[in-house]
Amino acid sequence: MSSDLTDALLQWYRRHRRDLPWRRTRDPYRIWVSEVMLQQTRVETVIPYYLRWLERFPTVADLAAAPEEEVLKAWEGLGYYSRARNLHRAAREVVARYGGAIPDDPAAFARLPGVGGYTAGAVMSIAFGRPLPAVDGNVLRVMSRLFAVDEPITRPGTRRRVEALVAELIPADAAGDFNQALMELGALVCLPGAPDCPRCPVAAWCRARAEGRERELPRREAKAPSRPETILVGVIADGGRYLLARRPRPGLLGGLWEFPSVPFAGGARPEEALAQGLRERLGVAVEVGGLLTRVEHLFSHRRWDLLAFCCSLAPGSPRPEDREDLRWLSPRELGAVPLPAAFQKVAAALIERGAAL
């Protein structure tokens, strides 16, 4: 069964695979970049980012030599910025420890920052032909249907079981194509909720289809609801420029820039809480004016409600100087620093309001 299934899947993939930029190369760096970008992001979104990234950082050495802020700016809009920071750190380690050559040893590659089991399996199999499984969400869905896996795919034990099943099927002489074929089948045919079974090249081996359960599988455990958080934002103006602060590197959106913000737990007027929070965070006294804009932004695990207020320095308050974590920028200069999507919306509202350009 396994060899027939494998052959049918590979034949289908070689006829129907999409022409994607990262499929035109065996360069492990370029394949690695694509796999990191594709995590939790649609192919259509990734393609322009991938092409721009390789124009700016064509080799792992170019990436390693770049300042972190430039790397984060190139990533701006893709989200999950820890992916970019880890890729940057890993590139520096590749240059320092391996002379700029991506290690083809799976254990060595897996020790690089941000490289998990999926990324290691994908890069090692596609770039180097290593017969290692690469199990992403598409593969979990395909395999759970093929083998009627009843355990929720969100559990680590289920992922390990699926990895073992893929390892039994993967051909030693076509590991990269096989892993990509499973991913492609999940992306084009074995879709969430509505699998197109008549078009499936391996429908004859699918246990879920035989049992009439192809729409029931895979099973998922209910996700915890996103945690709501209210964030107060100070858009502090002085002489046609606005104060930007760098977020602490550990934590959410670390290393990116923002209009200074503070969490709000209630118990006071938002304007009072913002003024006090900015005094504690930055040592700056401000007068808080009217509401500039309200922004809702959803992360995977939390939901932000941003209240952005127009602010000015209080009379007699010293003007903070530019430093590593603070900058005064004009509206035209805001595009030069990496701003999270929520704060890009604040910047857009600022410009729409008619800020001095």
Q: Which residue ranges make up each domain of the chain?
A: 2-210, 227-352
Q: Which residues contact 105 (CB under 8 A, 6 or more apart)?
A: none
Length of the chain counted residue by residue: 357
Q: State the catalytic residues.
A: 35
What is the model's pLDDT at position 355?
54
CATH class of domain segment(s) 227-352: alpha beta
pLDDT tens figures, 46-76: 999 999 999 999 999 999 999 999 999 999 9
pTM above threshold 0.85: yes
> In terms of Cα–Cα distance, which of 143, 113, 98, 96 is closest to 32?
113
Question: For the chain, where are the alpha helices, taking DSSP H only?
Answer: 2-16, 28-38, 43-56, 60-65, 68-75, 82-98, 106-110, 117-128, 137-146, 156-169, 175-188, 207-210, 270-282, 341-352
CATH class of domain segment(s) 2-210: mainly alpha
pLDDT tens figures, 238-277: 989 999 999 988 788 888 999 999 999 988 899 999 999 9
Q: In this model, does residue 1 exceed pLDDT 80?
A: no
Spatial separation of the C-alpha atoms in residues 356 and 342, rounded to whole Å: 21
Confidence of residue 357 (pLDDT cuts 50, 70, 90): very low
Name the region of 27 (left: φ>0; alpha: ψ -120 to 50; beta: rest): beta
Tokens coding 31: 């394949």
> What are the b/e assignments for 218-257, b being 16+ CB within 10 Å?
beeeeeeeeeebebbbbbbbeeebbbbbbbeeeeebebbb
Across the range 3-10, mean pLDDT stands at 94
